[in-house]
Structure 1
Amino acid sequence: MILHTLIDYDVLRLIWWLLLGVLLVGFAVTDGFDLGTNILLPFAGKTDVERRVVINAVGPVWEGNQVWLILGGGAIFAAWPQLYAVSFSGFYLAMFAILFALIVRPVAFKFRSKREDAGWRKAWDIALFVSGFIPALIFGVAMGNVLQGVPFRFDGAMHIFYEGSFFGLLNPFALLCGLVSLAMLVMHGATWLQLKTEGPVADRARRFGGFAALATLVLYALAGVLLWLYVDGYRISSVVDATGPSNPLLKTAETQSGIWFANYQAHPWTLLAPVLGLAGAALAWIGLLARREILALLASTVSIAGIVLSVGASMFPFILPSSLDPRASLTVWDSSSSHLTLFIMLVVTAIFMPLILAYTSWVYKVLWGKVDEKAIREESGHAY
C-alpha cells in the first residue's frame, strides 16, 4: 500500500479537518431542522391535527438525516481517535443526555398516534419537544466549552485524565453558545415548516421563526464580542511539525487573549464564515416575513454553515484545547490517525459520499410538497 504516499501526511490531515467541518455542517443543516421542528411542535400546532402536520413535515426524512451524525461520529473515531477519546469520555453525561433525547424521538414518532387519548398524545408531544430542545442546547454548550478549553491532560504514557464535571460545562459563555445553537435551529425548523406546511401552522412557524432569526443574529454577535474580550484562546509557541507523530505533548502551547481572532487578521478570507452566519440569519428573517420559502430556507442553511465553520476558522489548527495543560491540546497536526488510515478513509469517502448525497437528493425530490390537514385526516393509517 504505497499509494497513500501520493498525498502528503499534512495535506491528508488538513483534508480530514475540512471534511470534519463538512460533516458537522451537514448534520446541523439536515437534522437541525428536525430538532427545530420538534421544538416548535407545541407552538406551531395548536390542535391534534395541526401537530400531526408538524410531525409529518419531518417524519419521512428525519431518519435519513441522522446519517450525518453517524458519519461525523465515525469520522472522529477513525480520523481523530484522541479527539474521540477525550470528548466522548469527558462529555460523557452530556453525550448520554443527547443520546437519550435521540432515542426518545423515534419512539415518540411511532407511538404518539397509536391511541386516541389526548393525555397520551400530549405526553409524547412533550417528549418530542424535549428530544429537540436537549440536543440543540447541549451541542451549543459543547462548542462554548471547546472554545474556552476543556479540563483534560495526558500523563507520560498518553493516558487521558479528564478533571471536569457535567455542571462545570454549564458556565455562562457556554450557555450563551447553547442559546445561539437553540435559536439557530428553531429558525431553521421554522423555515422548513414554512416550506412544508400552509395555513395556521405555517403562519405560527413564520412568527416564531422570525423571533428566532433575530435572536440568532443578536446572540451570535454577542458571543463573538465576549469571545474577543473575555475568553483566552490558544496558540502554539513551538515549531509546528505538520507531518510529525500524533503526540500532542511534543509541542508547547500557551493561552493568549483575543488569539481566536488571529486567523481572521492573517487570512481575511476566513471572515466569510462569521459574515455568512450573520447575513444568513438576517436574510432568513426577511424571507420568513416576506413568505419567501426557498429564500428563507437557503438563508438559514447559509447562516448555520457560517456559524459552525466560524468556530473551526477561529480555532485552527486547534481541535480541542486543554485548559489544564495547553501543550496537551489536540491540533490538526498532532492528533490524527496514521497516514495510511487517513488515505484509506479518504478513498472510502470519495466512493460513498457521492452515493449518500445522490440518495438524499433523490429522497427529498420524491417527498417534495406540502403536508396539509386534509391529507393527514384521509391517510390516518399511513401518517404519523
Structure 2
Amino acid sequence: MILHELISYDILRVIWWVLLGVILIGFAVTDGFDLGVGALLPFVARNDIERRVVINTVGPVWEGNQVWLILGGGAIFAAWPQLYAVSFSGFYLAMFAILFALILRPVGFKYRSKIEDPTWRSSWDWALFIGGFVPALILGVAVGNVLQGVPFRLDEDLRIFYDGTFFGLLNPFALLCGLLSVAMLVMHGAAWIVLKTEGVVAQRARRVGEVASLLTILLFALGGVALWLFVGGYRITSPIDMVGPSNPLLKTVATGGGWFANYAAHPWMLIAPALGFVGAVACYVNAKAGREIGTLLWSKLSIFGIISTVGVSMFPFILPSSADPRAGLAVWDASSSHLTLFIMLVVTVIFLPIVLAYTAWVYRVLWGKVDEQAIRDDSGHAY
C-alpha cells in the first residue's frame, strides 16, 4: 500500500476542512483580541499614558498572533487551490483594504512614541483604530458574501470568471455580518483589556465589553433570521462522489433552504450556534461580576461557536457561487490531490504542536497586568 493511502481521500478532505476552521478560529481568538483592542484604543484610554498601557497589552504578542492569518492563506493555497484563486482574485480590493489597515498596526506601534507631540500620537492612535476596526468589519462582510454566494463561474476548462464588484460586496446582509464581526471582536478585545489592565481603563473596557456582548447576541440572532428569510443557501442535488476528481462542474446544485438542512439532518450541529449564544451571554455575566479570566474564556467560546456555525451550516460547501450554483466549491470537489493533502497533514502533525507549545510558553512568560508605573519605569522599551 502506498503510504498516503493509509488515510482515504474523503477523510483527508474532511480533515482539511476541519483544519481550515481551526486556523480561522485560531486567528479570531488570538489576533481577534488585538483587532478589538485597536478598535477600542481611542475610547477606553483618554490620555497618553493610558493609551500606552492599552497598546502594551498587545504589543508583545500581536505579531505572533497574526501568523494565524498567514497560515490560513497558506493552507487555502495548498489544500484548496480553487478557493484561493476565487477568493484572492474576486475579493482583491477588499483584501487590499484589509492589508492596508493591517500595515498601519506595526507602523503605529513602532512610530507612535517616537515624537512626544500630542497631535502626532493622536494621529497614530486613530491609525491603530483603523487597523483594528477595518479588518474586523471587512472580514465579517466577506463571510456574509460567502453565505450568500459569490458571483463567479467556471468554464469547461475550469477557468474562473468573477462577475462581482467591490461595492457589490457591501450589501445589507454582508454589512450585518460585518457589524457582528466587529461586535464579537470588540467584546473579545475588551475582555483582554480587562484582564491585562486595572483602574479606570479596565472599568471603561468592562462597560464596553458588556455592551458588545449584548450586541453580539442581538446581531447573531438577527443574522440567523436574515439567513432564513433572505438567503436560504444551496443544496447539492446530484449523487456525491466523496473521492471524485476536483471538478465542481460535475455536480448539480439547487438554491433555497440549504444552510438549515444540516441541522435537520444532524441535530447535534445545533451545538455550534448554541455555543455562540451561550458564550456571549456568559461573557456578559462574567464581565458584570468582575471575573476577568472567565470573561475572556467565554468570549473565546462565543467566537468558536459563531465561526463554527458558518462552517457547519455551509457544509459541504466552502465557497458557493451565486452566478452559477453548480460551480460552487465543495469539500468533495475543490481540494488538492490525495498525496498533497497527506503530505501537508504529516507536516501539520509535526509542526502545529510545536507552534502551540511555543505560543503557550510566550503567553505564560508575558502573563500579568500592564500598569502605568510599569510603562514609566520601562519608558525606553515600552511602546
* TM-score (ref. length: structure 2): 0.99
Residue deviations 1:99-132 (CA, integer Å, cap 9, x gap):
1111111000000001100000000001000000
Q: Which sections of structure 1, spanning at least 5 residues, go unmatched?
A: none
Q: Which amino acid aligns with 1:326?
A: P
| 1:59 equivalent in alignment to 2:59 | yes
Corresponding residue number in structure 2 for 1:143: 143
- SS of the residue 2:233 aligns to: strand
Distance of 2:380 and 2:357 partners within structure 1: 30
SS at match of 2:369: coil
Identity %: 73
Look up the SS of the partner of 1:66 in the other structure. helix
Q: Deviations over 1:272-317 (max 9, x none)?
A: 1100000100110111111100110000000000000100000000
The size of the alignment, in residue pairs, is: 383
Matches of 1:254 and 1:85 in 2, distance apart? Answer: 24
Instruction: After superposition, give the CA deviation of every residue in 1:333-384 in whole Å (9 maximum; x if it has no partner).
Output: 0000000000000000000000000000000000000000011111111100
Structure 2 partner of 1:382: 381
Please name the residue that 2:269 is paired with: 270
Please identify runs of 4+ aligned residues in structure 1 that moved more than 2 A.
Answer: none
Matching residue of 1:112: 112
Secondary structure of 1:120's counterpart equals helix
Write the letter of the residue equivalent to 2:47.
Answer: T
Alpha-carbon distance in 2 for matches of 1:289, 1:66: 30
Classify the secondary structure of the residue corresponding to 2:60: coil
- Deviations 1:43-100, CA, capped at 9 Å, x for gaps: 1100100000000000000000011111111100000000000000000000000011
What SS does the aligned partner of 1:243 have?
Answer: coil
In structure 1, distance between residues paired with 2:50 and 2:91: 37
For residues 341 and 334 of structure 1, the distance between their equivalents in structure 2, rounded to whole angstroms, comes to 15
Q: CA deviation at 1:232?
A: 2.5
Give the alignment of 1:217-296 within 5 angstroms. 217-256=217-256, 258-296=257-295
Which amino acid in structure 1 is aligned with residue 52 of structure 2? R
1:358 paired to 2:368: no
Q: Which residue of 1 aligns with 2:369?
A: 370
Distance 1:87 1:132 in 2: 22
What per-residue deviation string (whole Å, max 9, x for no partner) do you get for residues 232-291 of structure 1?
2100010100000000001111111x3211111111111111000001001101111111
Matched residue SS, 1:100: helix
In the alignment, which residue of structure 1 is the partner of 2:314?
315
Q: Which SS does the other structure have where 1:11 is aligned?
A: helix
Q: Secondary structure at 1:153's aligned position in 2? A: strand
Write the mapping of 1:175-190 to structure 2, written as runs, cut at 5 A: 175-190=175-190
Is residue 71 of structure 1 aligned with residue 71 of structure 2?
yes
Q: Give the unaligned 5+ runs of structure 2.
A: none
* Counterpart amino acid of residue 283 in structure 2: A
| Distance in 2 of aligned mates of 1:86 and 1:259 | 22
CA distance in 2, matches of 1:218, 1:285: 13
Counterpart CA distance in 2 for 1:288 and 1:54 is 18
More divergent stretch after superposition (51-60 vs 259-268): 259-268
Residue type at the aligned position of 2:347: V
1:217 & 1:224 partners in 2: Cα distance? 11
Residue range with higher mean Cα deviation, 163-172 or 227-236: 227-236
Q: Deviations over 1:134-171 (max 9, x none)?
A: 00000100000000000000011111000000000000
Cα RMSD of the aligned pairs, angstroms, is: 0.7
SS at match of 2:254: strand
SS of equivalent residue, structure 1 residue 355: helix
Q: Distance in 1 between matches of 2:377 and 2:167?
A: 48
Distance 1:286 1:51 in 2: 27
1:39 alignment partner AA = A
Code of the aligned partner of 1:31: D
Provide the TM-score with structure 1 as the length reference: 0.99
